[in-house]
Amino acid sequence: MLLIPAIDLKDGQCVRLKQGEMDDATVFSSDPGAMARHWLEAGARRLHLVDLNGAFAGKPKNGAAIRSITDVVGDDIPVQLGGGIRDLDTIEHYLDDGISYVIIGTAAVKNPGFLHDACGAFPGHIIVGLDAKDGKVAVDGWSKLTGHDVIDLAKKFQDYGVESVIYTDIGRDGMLGGVNIEATVKLAQALSIPVIASGGIGSMKDIKALCAVQHEGISGAITGRAIYEGKLDFQKAQAEADKLTEAAKA
């Protein structure tokens, strides 16, 4: 089980939101590069970046902050990035700049043809982000709930060739109330590609609960507010996850 620190970028700073509300942002650092170095030194094996301004504007908005992170990370670990990615040129630009995986969310739901083209043009580099509440997919920074069933949509995107699916329960994100294990497992069981859990990780208990079901196809978990507020020690949590993973193999 891979624990993936989240670095959410707003106006060039590292922040966390509660349930996607841009007006409810807590600033944790004004130096994204230093924050990336911190997680690298703590043993992170992947980073998760979100261009929050980009997600709301529909185009990249935190280029300088993203470059400061890729400059620090280099080839040491993969970096995945989402937020405002709406065309193939943007994907190519990010991959050229050192991003390993590009996450397509709202655009995948609204314009499946774009996702299909992206998977064809950049195989192995496209992750789809599905944000859902009560099994239905949300778009536009979670402001609109669609009628799309999350499992049906994920299966379609799997056929397109996405590398993995990031599944976020938007009712839990930033609230530290625990991951929606049942919904995450249900999605993972329906797919043959990995599912990365997101939203609600608040303690070591959540890490243990995810590790107990990782054999269903859950390859990682994105963690944000808990590791920034000190409710979860990232190094200890990854060490525990590694131990549980090894024990499950034995």
Which residues are identified as catalytic?
A: 8, 131
Distances (CA, A) of 240 to 36, 219, 232, 233, 243: 22, 15, 12, 11, 5
What does the block give as tokens for 190? 């329906």
The radius of gyration of the chain from alpha carbons, rounded to an integer in Å, stands at 16
| Pair 74, 80: CB distance under 8 Å | no
| Pair 38, 95: CB distance under 8 Å | no
Nearest to 142 by CA among 4, 3, 15, 24: 24
Q: Is 162 helix (H, G, I), strand (E, B) or coil?
A: coil
Residue 26: strand pairing partners:
16
In the chain, the largest separation of any two C-alpha atoms, in whole Å, equals: 48
**Residue 38 contacts by C-beta under 8 Å, 6 or more apart in sequence?**
none
